[in-house]
Amino acid sequence: MQIEGGSAACGYFRATVAYDGTDFLGFQWQSAGRTVQGTLEAALLQVTQSASRVVGSGRTDSGVHAQGQVIAFHATWRHSLADLQRALNAVLPADVVLWDLYPAPADWHPRFSALWRHYRYTVLNQLLRSPLDRRYVHQVAGPLDLAAMQAAAALLVGEHDFAGYGQPTQGDSTVREVFDARWHMDGPRFTFDVVANAFLRGMVRRLVGTLLYVGGGVWPVERVAEILASRDRAQAAPLAPACGLCLMHVEYDTRPEDLTGATWIKEQGRRENL
């Protein structure tokens, strides 16, 4: 975690934000209800005494968490960026924090300048619920076949039309490129990491729901490819619960071809320990 120092700041800024999405109605501002965007804009107004519009790298749904959401905003601030970061974190609620804060180039955009995004979904595969984990994992009581889920996830890698798994967030195109998709198991905890140039609305949760059907023996591995070919969301499994999903990282500098497979996972682990 870094704090940018320096003198008086006035202009366009970028920041990395983490939040527990449990008590938010998603990232995007709504006329009624608590949202991450609304909370950040209220903090900026309180600190800078002027209204600022916050733009995010993605619009996470209600209940979805973020470790590495990236935002941008314009603000007038006559002190250092370190002071601005400290002031914002002082007034933000306990379930939101700014990890860092930097000046941003005028032509930079948190969404359109991104090269890839990394989401992680966490499943707790055990019979009894875990009260301390319930906000951040999806509990699955029945046995899961890791090898089957891994084989099914591999079918998602590459450029495909993902209309069967999600809705476009802007425009009509449902074609996305998945650079990596894989499961990891650590005792009863299964994590699904997926990296793509962009994601459709509901795409990751619908992918996870479908992969869990495969892991639970409801569907064969080939069903994943059949849903891709169908382009029909009704053919996929229901959305996995929002609580297990977290936006881990949005990348703007390193291209995916230079950070693939185990390499990007290792790099992501390094980032998480900053």
Task: Convert the pLDDT of each residue in 148-178 to its tens digit.
Answer: 999 999 999 999 999 999 998 767 899 999 9
Report the distance separating Cα 263 and Cα 214, nearest Å.
27
Mean pLDDT over 68-87 rounds to 94
With a pLDDT cut of 70, the percent of the chain lying above it is: 90
* Residues 6 or more apart in contact with residue 248 via CB below 8 angstroms: 67, 68, 118, 119, 120, 193, 268, 272
Q: What is the pTM of this model?
A: 0.91
Indicate whether 111 pLDDT > 50.
yes
**Cα distance between residue 74 and residue 116, in whole Å:** 24
Domains of the chain: 9-103 (3.30.70.580), 116-272 (3.30.70.660)
pLDDT value at position 172? 80
Query: Phi, psi (5° rounding) for residue 70?
Result: -120, 135
Q: Is 161 a catalytic residue?
A: no
**7 band by pLDDT with thresholds 50, 70 and 90:** very low
What is the spatial distance between Cα 118 and Cα 66, in angstroms, rounded to a whole number? 10
Catalytic residue among 20, 23, 61, 186: 61
Q: Which residue has the higher pLDDT, 194 or 2?
A: 194
Task: Round the average pLDDT of the chain to a whole number and report it.
Answer: 91
Decide if pLDDT at 3 tops 50. Answer: no
* Model confidence band, residue 1 (pLDDT cutoffs 50, 70, 90): very low
Say yes or no to pLDDT of 144 above 50: yes
The distance in angstroms from the start CA to the end CA of the chain is 5
Q: Per-residue pLDDT averaged across 25-29, rounded?
A: 94
